[in-house]
Amino acid sequence: MGKKVYFLSDVHMGSAYHNKNVDKQYQMILPSVKIKDSYSPQHEVERKLCRWLDMAKQDASAIYLLGDIFDYWFEYKTVVPRGFVRFLGKIAEITDMGIEVHFFIGNHDIWVTDYLQKECGMIVHLQPLVKEIYGKKFFLAHGDGLGDDSTSFKVLRKIFHSKLCRIAYAAIHPRWTVGFAQRWSNHNRANDEMPPYFGEDKEHLVLFAKDHLKKAPSLNFFIFGHRHIMLDLMLSSTSRVVILGDWINFFSYGVFDGENFSLEIFEE
């Protein structure tokens, strides 16, 4: 078992956005190749994620998946969403090797119960986690709801996290709920533009990290997803905030070897 710890977020497997983005990349690399009818951009993203996991498992002591790995995930009592078999099988293989895989819920894959733990061996986190890794203190979270005080976001988040709403939603047939969830997600990603960086004085996650650091000055790293930007910013001589990017535009991830943390691009 190796020493490195890997961090990744915002793959959004199942998103229709991959149909646009991966097709463009595929045609740029192989413009003369006619894409077969069986070709699926979403499967290509999943295969690429499995290659990343194969790379990471060679020297990983732990892997942290910091939310929105799925674009939509809702577990019924005996049913889970169709697809993702390559990814879920690879995760089970890695946890069977004794490597910890931590799964944090995001704002797209909130609705987990016990499937990912029992079938795949993942450690599921419903809240942010403070963890010491090789002598450094990490604050780990997807990032939604942190530092954003807007009333509309708070109301929406409360609805999504409501147990009563979840029970009511589960009572509706999936033929309606899945289509609704996919349309909602695609509406939020209606154009091809990458999210902008708002600056150190306006980014909610940066502001949250700065404020939280006042209460917990021993924290060395704040690691977030959610914003779909790549950011590595020093907050003090001993603390920094990292936003991991995504697997829609960047195919980025973080890695910590016990001494150094870096943001990397997979198969650049």
Q: Which CATH number characterizes residue 53's domain?
A: 3.60.21.10
Outline where DSSP puts E strands in the chain: 4-8, 60-65, 100-104, 123-125, 129-133, 136-140, 221-224, 230-234, 240-244, 252-256, 261-265
Q: Which residue from 38, 107, 24, 33 is spatially nearest to 69, judged by alpha carbons?
A: 107
How many angstroms separate the CA atoms of 101 and 256, rounded?
15
How many angstroms separate the CA atoms of 216 and 50, rounded?
36
Contacts 24+ apart (CB under 8 A), 26-29: none
- So what's the pLDDT on residue 185? 63
How many angstroms separate the CA atoms of 224 and 8, rounded?
9
For residue 235, give Cα distances in angstroms to 125, 132, 207, 241, 245.
26, 19, 10, 7, 19
- So what's the pLDDT on residue 33? 44
Residues with Cβ < 8 Å from 27, sequence gap 6 or more? 35
- So what's the pLDDT on residue 61? 97
Our count of domains for the chain comes to 1
- Number of alpha carbons in the 13 Å side-chain half-sphere of residue 263: 20
Residue range of the domain that includes 9: 4-265
- So what's the pLDDT on residue 110? 83
Parallel, antiparallel, or unpaired: how do β-strands 136-140 and 230-234 relate? unpaired
- So what's the pLDDT on residue 99? 97
Segments in the chain below pLDDT 70: 1-2, 19-39, 152-154, 157, 161, 179-193
- So what's the pLDDT on residue 32? 47
- So what's the pLDDT on residue 144? 92
Parallel, antiparallel, or unpaired: how do β-strands 4-8 and 60-65 relate? parallel
Give me the phi and psi of 215, to 5 degrees please: -85, -25
pTM of this structure: 0.87
- So what's the pLDDT on residue 214? 96
How many angstroms separate the CA atoms of 213 and 239, rounded?
8
**207 close to 243: Cβ distance less than 8 angstroms:** no
- So what's the pLDDT on residue 201? 93
- So what's the pLDDT on residue 194? 76
